[in-house]
Structures are given as structure tokens and as C-alpha cells.
Structure 1
Amino acid sequence: MAHLFTPLTLRGVTLKNRLVVSPMCMYSAQDGFANDWHLVHLGSRAVGGAALVIQEATAVAPEGRITPDDLGIWQDEHLPFLRRITDFIKAQGAVAGIQLAHAGRKASHQSPWKGGAEIPPTAPGGWPTVAPSAQPFAPAETAPQALDAAGIRRVVANFEAATRRAVQAGYEVIEIHAAHGYLLHEFLSPLSNERTDEYGGSFENRIRLLLEVTEAVRAALPAELPLLVRISATDWTEGGWSADDSVALARQLQRRGVDLIDCSTGGNVPKAPIPVGPGYQVEFAARIRQETGLPTGAVGLITDAQQAETILADGQADLILLARELLRDPYFPLHAAQELGTEVPWPNQYERAKPRGSR
């Protein structure tokens, strides 16, 4: 059997294969509420054979949304429709995951197809943003408010409460979003964190908030459910967060009950010189896995079955997270199995379309 279709167990959850739907913002919610778009979008990838379907960045607080159109989980009223989504995913033999997020200084923006510009806090639909320091992401944007001690405590409490709601809603994998220039990444990087208190300055201080969030989330999770953390393994900018920092952070997260590091990069610096190409982020997943022993997920321009299989066979990662490729082809896992000569079950409703020679 191909490596891509061997099961993986994280704590008490077993994934039927190594293909994961990477969290992708749909910008299709209203007041944080999921709707039929999210059910069909996420459900179709479960039908298509992915083992783990991770829901897009879901805001733990209203001010933590990237746009007014983001999903949220800051109130109990959000849960009934989310439960409908998780029930459907589970019925397809997949596992439902959720990425919990706070956008920090990159919040209060238009959705991409509405222009993507900042919505100033005084404009309709906008709100004040928060960050480690009063430093905007882009020079022309409004400066965020630097979080005080009470604000930091609220962030931790928001992640904890969101975790409890996520479990109620039926999610079996929780991912903390600490990447792409959003709030927790902003604290990690010296390029965005200019604080002089216990949350800024040294490496130990800059990782403090993420460790506190991780501890709170892990404590709120049943012991049998796995916890993932997505990081940007490098800022791709001199003087910023580095691969060495990521290895050191992974060791700290491992001690606090994190089960897998989801390795992305960038997002904290506008126009960073990122060498984008096929599998360009895999090296970071490989290094963290090799130096810490912690399972990792690889993401970033992984677009074909043999490429994904080689990453796993070479021991560079434990999971393959696909984003745009699964937008192009929701049934990529079924097609990949055929390409790699591995027999996997098709949904009963689609069995008649299974290629001959695959039965």
C-alpha cells in the first residue's frame, strides 16, 4: 500500500489516510454563522476521500475575524449548524477538524473579491484591531491597539472557550492558528513584537502567549483528542522569525501536549521574498520532524500524488495538507489512490463510476 493511504493515529483519533483538507477561508459567513456553502464545500471533500477535513480559520472573538465574512465560534448560537457539518463529515468516514484563529492586526479587511482593503475602525463594518504592538501590517493602514495584560488574558480565555464549543460541535481535531501574520504569529516575530514586558523581547517572552494559549486549549480538550498548531516556520525576512526558532518552539509545544506541527511559512511581512515553488515549505516540516521527533504536516504547492507519496516515503512529514489542489479537485484522494495503485473504497453512491480494474 502507498504511504499516502496508510492510517495515522494521533492520540485516540485514527485518520484513514495521510491526506488532509488544509483550512481555507471561504469568506462566506454572516456574523460568524456557517451556512449551506460551508456544508457543501467541506462535505464534498469528505466525500472525496480526505481523511481529515480542517475547517477554515474560525474566529474565537468578533474582533479576531480577518473580514466581516469569516466564520466564528465565539458564541453558542454558532454551534447548531457547525454540528450539522461535523455530523456529515463523520458520516463519510472522515474526521472533522477546526482551526481556531485570531487575526490580530490583519483583521477588519474586506474579503478578497471585494478588494481586500482595510476597513478602518470608523467605517461601516470595521472595528479596532489589536496586536502585540501598535504597529500596522502595512504602513498605510490604521495602527492596531497594543494589547494590555487584561487583553492578553481575554485572548487566552477566548481560545479556551472556543475549544470547548468546538468539542460540543463535534470537532475531533483542534488546530491553533499561529501562522501567516495573525495574532499569535505577531507575538512570535520580533518584526511585529516590540513589547518590553514579559511578552516581548527575548525568544522565551515572545513565545509566551502561544504557550499559554496552547496550555489552555489542551486543558479544555478531552485527552483522546489531538491538538495541532500551524506555524509560519520562517518570516523569509532577515531579523524575523526563523527556522531555528521554529525548531525550538516545536520542542516547547511538544512538552505541552501538541501532537503535530502544521508547517507553513510567511505572512507577517508585506512583499517578503518567498521562493515559491513546488513543495517549497516541505523542508521545514522535515527539519522539525527530524530534530524533535514530533509529527509534522507538509503544505504548499503539493499538487500531485507522486509528489505527496515521495514526501511521506522520504520521512519528511506525516501528513499532506492540500489547499488549492482540493479546490480544483475535491476527489483528489480517490484519483491519487488509482494513480498509486492502491485500493480504497468509494462512496456507495459513486461506486458505479469507479474506474475498471480498481475494484
Structure 2
Amino acid sequence: MTKLFDPIVIRGVEFRNRIAMSPMCMHSGTLDGKVTTFHHVHYGARALGGAGLVFLETTAVMPNGLIGPGDIGIWNDGQIEGLKALTDTIHAMGAKAGCQIGHAGRQFPIETLPSIAPSAIPFTTESRVPEALTVEGIDKVVEAFRTAAIRAKAANFDVLEIHTAHGYLLNEFLSPIANHRTDEYGGSHENRYRIVRRVIDVIRAEWKGPLFLRISSTDYVEGGNRPEDFLIFGKWMKEQGIDLIDCSSGGMAMIKVESYPNYQVPAAELIRREVGIMTGAVGLIETGRQADEIIRNGRADIVLVGREMLKDPFWARTAADDLQTPIPVPAQYTRYGSAWQRSQPALPMAALTDTVVG
């Protein structure tokens, strides 16, 4: 019995299956961080292709929070209209829309604005030295995440995810590799977590829907975080109202990581079992059978598919074929055709399942 295409309900929101498109930078926005036609085609295609949840790329909470040029933002109200139009597109294609909010921290690449970090430690020997945040600066970052949550609600997103991974700002605070502070924001697990705690609290006060948080479960660096550290952090995240931990890894240092199918799944399985929280699995998830095994054996609650969904917008249908599982498909892609459909009483998509498989 397959489980990948079972619906899942999180905080009252129902997703049609356990497949999510992972957030991936597209660098195709306008200079002022707004969405473009590309985003409607790109994300709309994956929604039409059957994903239950489509995450946008990271939306920056501050102008100096971009991961790269062309990233989209959510730092001012002028960006809401375009984001709302994009969620409308995703919803019209049957999927739920996810907004991952974050700040690049010391990895901000644009020289016209300062980069910021918990400590004045550059990412690489070639990188510029970031400004170490003052307590007042930390307050401004926390407020930026709060107002981003308000804008995400106005743009009608279904899921909000806090980006606390891949060596970006919040991950930098969590990791001893980038955080050498000696005040209340550095040192112990509790202190390194303090800014994350504040961010979750202010977002939860504004956002009542499903709230995910992406982590780097290991830094792959001696002295850095390991999955066991996130059993500590994960307990606090659960207590604060995080619904699902999205378990990625790496990004704290420029090192080559040996990757292979399911290489990040053990962290999702460990945190799910030991913390008792829903998790998302990522990392070279390529086939339907592979994804279904993860869900069916309780290793994670959803799978987030990245590179495979870039190659195949209809990866969900490809996975269904692999599993020999019938799924609803767009009526326009059946033998009936959209013209016929328009001349007939409306048919639910499920009614076409027996005609077209996968």
C-alpha cells in the first residue's frame, strides 16, 4: 500500500499528497525584489504537475538578505501584490503555496549594502568581513521576520517556512562555526538559539497557519552542529509551535559533501522519532518508490523534491507511474480535452482517474 499520495492535514490545511517542491533560488526577480512572468510559469507548472505543496525560493526579509542578485523579497508592502498573484496561480493549479522567508547573513553577495552576521567572521578567505550584529541590529532582524509573516499572510500563502539552514543568518547564529559571540546570543545551545526563539515567537503571534522551519542538521565541520544538537533545538521548536522541521544539511563552510540518494533522510528520521515532530526529508530523492518508502516507513511526513522537479515539472505523475498508482490529472490532459469539458457539466478531477493513470 503506497502512502506518498495520501493527503495530509497540518494545522487545518489539507495537502493533496506528501510531495513538496523544495525552495530553490531562481535569481529571476526584478531589481526591487518582485516576481516576474518567469515565476508564474515556473511555479505554476509544478503545481499543475501534481505537487501538493509548492515552495517559492527564499524570499528575503531585508534588502541585504538576498542570497544572490535577482532574488525576490518580502521586505516591503509593494512586493505583496506580485506575491499574491503568484499564490493565485499556484492555487488555481490545485497546489498549496509555501513561502520560505530568510536572510543570507554573511553570504549576502552585493557590495552596495553591508553584510551582517553574529560575528565578524567571513564565509571564506576571499569573502568580505561581515558586520557583527549589535543587540539593536538583532532587534531589527527579528522585526523584519515579523513583518514578513504579516505580508505572507496578506499574499495568501498557505505555509510559512523559516530558513534556518545552509549557512545563512539564522543558521549562523545556531552554529559555533560562525557564532563566536560572548553575550546572551552566543556560547550555549540556549544562547545560540535565542534569536531563533525570538523569530518564532513573533511570527507565531502573526501567523496562525502551518509553520515549517528548515535546518542544516549537520555542518560537516569539526566543532559544528550535528543531528544530536537538533534534538535539543528541535524540542524547543516544537514547544514554540513549529509544525514541521525540514531537514537539510551543510552550507556553513565551502566543503564538498558526498551526496547520494537519501543521504539526508536519517536526520529527518531521527528528529521525527526522538522529538515527536513532523519532518520533511530532502536530498537526492529521485523516484516514486524511493519517496514512498520514506513516507510508508515513517522516516518523514513529506518529501521535498528539488533537482528532479526542475528536470520534470510533472514529477508527481512520474512518481505515480513508478508506483503504478492512479492519480487525478488535469482534465485538459485527458482524452476528453478542455473544449469538451467546457461543454459538459463540471467533472471532478478524481472522476478522470480511471481513464488516465499516472
TM-score, structure 2 normalization: 0.93
Per-residue displacement from partner, 1:2-24 (whole Å, max 9, x unpaired)?
20000111101111100000001
Q: How many residues align?
A: 341
The 5-angstrom pairing of residues 337-348 of structure 1 reads: 337-348=320-331
2:12 matched residue in structure 1: 12
Alignment partners' CA distance in 2, 1:348 and 1:80: 29
1:115 matched residue in structure 2: none
- Is it true that 1:275 corresponds to 2:275 in the alignment? no
Aligned mate of 1:154, from 123, 134, 140? 140
The 5-angstrom pairing of residues 178-327 of structure 1 reads: 178-222=164-208, 225-271=209-255, 274-327=257-310
Tell me if the contact between 2:185 and 2:194 (Cα under 8 Å) persists in the aligned partners.
yes
2:47 matched residue in structure 1: 46
Task: Please tell me the residue identity of whatever aligns with 1:314.
Answer: N
Tell me if the contact between 2:34 and 2:73 (Cα under 8 Å) persists in the aligned partners.
yes
Tell me if the contact between 2:119 and 2:179 (Cα under 8 Å) persists in the aligned partners.
yes
Alignment partners' CA distance in 2, 1:127 and 1:138: 18
1:21 matched residue in structure 2: 21
Aligned partner of residue 20 in structure 1, secondary structure: strand
Q: CA deviation at 1:219?
A: 1.0
Alignment partners' CA distance in 2, 1:176 and 1:357: 38
Q: CA deviation at 1:84?
A: 1.0
Alignment partners' CA distance in 2, 1:42 and 1:358: 23
Per-residue displacement from partner, 1:28-48 (whole Å, max 9, x unpaired)?
112101010011111100000
- Is it true that 1:175 corresponds to 2:176 in the alignment? no
Per-residue displacement from partner, 1:135-168 (whole Å, max 9, x unpaired)?
0000121100000011100111000000000010
Tell me if the contact between 2:50 and 2:314 (Cα under 8 Å) persists in the aligned partners.
yes
Q: CA deviation at 1:305?
A: 0.6
Tell me if the contact between 2:326 and 2:356 (Cα under 8 Å) persists in the aligned partners.
no
Q: CA deviation at 1:259?
A: 0.1
Aligned partner of residue 213 in structure 2, secondary structure: strand
Q: CA deviation at 1:338?
A: 2.5
Structure 1 unaligned spans of 5+: 109-118
Alignment partners' CA distance in 2, 1:86 and 1:349: 21
Alignment partners' CA distance in 2, 1:263 and 1:208: 20
Task: Please tell me the residue identity of whatever aligns with 1:254.
Answer: K
Per-residue displacement from partner, 1:49-101 (whole Å, max 9, x unpaired)?
00000111000010111123110011111111111110111122210011001
Tell me if the contact between 2:46 and 2:313 (Cα under 8 Å) persists in the aligned partners.
yes
Per-residue displacement from partner, 1:311-346 (whole Å, max 9, x unpaired)?
111111000000000000000111212221222111
Structure 2 unaligned spans of 5+: 338-352
Tell me if the contact between 2:219 and 2:226 (Cα under 8 Å) persists in the aligned partners.
yes
Deviates more, 1:85-94 or 1:45-54: 85-94
Aligned mate of 1:333, from 316, 322, 340? 316
Alignment partners' CA distance in 2, 1:72 and 1:355: 42
Alignment partners' CA distance in 2, 1:34 and 1:79: 10
Tell me if the contact between 2:64 and 2:108 (Cα under 8 Å) persists in the aligned partners.
yes
